[in-house]
Amino acid sequence: MLIKRTVQTSSREQFIDITDVIREVLQEMDLQNGVVTVFVPHTTAGVTINENADPSVVHDMLYALDKAVPDDRHFRHAEGNSTAHVKSSVIGPSLQVIVEKGRLVLGTWQGIYFCEFDGPRTRSLLIKGLSG
């Protein structure tokens, strides 16, 4: 079963904790054991797993990505959002998480983040479970 959710971002670059959204979808799917895939069908956004206990980690991730991929006058893409495309490729558009007994198998401090690099926008999030 493929389920679609929307994510509303409020700034140009932002990490939004979507762990609870994925948990709710698992309940809706009634997926007990298997794998859930989270996919972002956008070229200027991504999804990742990282620490969700200390909000400074999100700040540090955004800071590091800005240092690694700074705005540069040599980018040629006409829309002016080349950095967003590069950051999206670095983070990636999808991830998989093991599901056991109806729960995401994540580490103690881990959360799932939607990563916006060209907002604010209304974005799509596609979630699919596979029993196993």
Query: What are 15-52's pLDDT values in tens digits?
Result: 999 999 999 999 999 999 999 999 999 999 999 999 99
pLDDT of 1:
84
pTM: 0.94
How many structural domains are present in the chain?
A: 1
Nearest Cα residue to 93 out of 28, 48, 30: 48
User: How confident is the chain (132 residues) per 10-residue block, as mean pLDDT?
Assistant: 96 98 96 97 97 94 94 73 90 98 97 98 97 89
Is residue 44, in this structure, part of any structural domain at all?
yes
In a domain, 29, yes or no: yes
Q: What is the CATH number of the domain that holds 126?
A: 2.60.120.460
At residue 27, the pLDDT reads 95
21 domain-assigned: yes
Q: Say whether 61 sits in a helix, a strand or coil.
A: helix
74 in any annotated domain: no
**What pLDDT score does 79 carry?**
74
Q: How far is CA 20 from CA 16, 40, 52, 78, in A?
A: 11, 16, 12, 37
Query: Which 3 state secondary structure label does DSSP give 29?
Result: helix
Q: Which domain holds residue 104?
A: 2-69+81-131
